[in-house]
Amino acid sequence: MKENLYKYILGIADNSLILGQRLGELCGHGPSLETDIACTNISLDLFGQVRSYYQYAAKIIGDGRSEDDIAMLRKEREYVNVLLVEQPNTDFAYTIGRQFLFDVYHFLFLKELQKSHDLTLSAIAIKSIKEVSYHQRFSTDWVKRLGDGTAESHQRMQDAIDSLWTYTDELFHQTEADKIIISEGIGVDVTVLKSVYYATVSKILNESTLKVPESKWFQKGGKEGIHTEHLGYLLSDLQYMQRTYPNMEW
């Protein structure tokens, strides 16, 4: 039970860690000062959530590792985030598309996690959902602005959604640890969120004058530790200080 709960928490936390790192890369590179600060604040929100998850994971596993060790000293195959969140910041439309497709899922997920029998996870979800509600409004507003904007912004937003669509189905896959934790009333059965997710995303895309991709070909592997080439480069930045100066303290 302890090992499965640990794995389950990593499955939640790694998504926010990797997406937070991606957004952190944009600091100072946003299309406007306001948007730049907004993306940085979303990154900080995600890292704040991650600290709560990893602190709890460290307590559960009880092997002497700290939240920093869990976050920064695992190998690439030990991260179990979905492939969607590790995709690079190709352009602003791509960044917004990635954020939007994850935010819709993240909000639905946290709504259900609030009901968890695990009081710590429930408390984290109750706190985090307030932040994620804002994240979803932010990314949704930008999808609409770009999709229903100029011809170029429309095309860039459509290209981003078309490219990222292949990573969405993995959000609703379950690992063996997930199934065990769900059966204990602790985890969220993400399979029941799938229809609501695609209905919500499709509605917003239609309002944005964007087409819902028809492709039924999806990629997966992140939840099993099999990632795209992008994660290795991301981790080299994320882990640099901890690996260069072992046991460093601020």
pLDDT truncated to tens, each residue of the chain (250 aa)?
789 999 999 999 999 999 999 999 888 777 777 788 888 999 999 999 999 999 999 999 988 898 999 999 999 999 999 999 999 999 999 999 999 999 999 999 999 999 999 999 999 999 999 999 999 999 999 999 999 999 999 999 999 999 999 999 999 999 999 999 999 999 999 999 999 999 999 999 999 999 999 988 999 999 999 999 999 999 999 999 888 888 776 5
CB-based burial label for 123 (10 Å; 0-12, 13-18, 19+): middle
Do the domain assignments include residue 145? yes
**Measured CA angle at 28 (ends 154, 35), to 5 deg:** 45
Give residue 129's pLDDT: 97
State which residues form the domain around 95. 2-244
What confidence score (pLDDT) does residue 250 get? 58
| 250: in domain | no
Residue 201 lies in a domain: yes
Alpha carbon distances (Å) from 64 to 54, 70, 80: 13, 10, 21
Q: What burial letters (b/e) apply to 50-81, b meaning 16+ CB within 10 Å?
A: bbbbbbbbbebbeeeeebeebbbebeeeebbb
pTM reported for the whole predicted model: 0.95
pLDDT at 54: 97
Residue 70: inside a domain: yes
* Total number of domains in the chain: 1
Does residue 21 lie within any of the structural domains? yes
**The domain that contains 145 carries what CATH number?**
1.20.1260.10
How confident is the model at residue 33, as a pLDDT? Answer: 75
Q: Residue 226 corresponds to which tokens in the numbers above?
A: 């099999």
Residue for token digits 């409004």?
Answer: 137
Residue 249 lies in a domain: no
* 125 within domain boundaries: yes
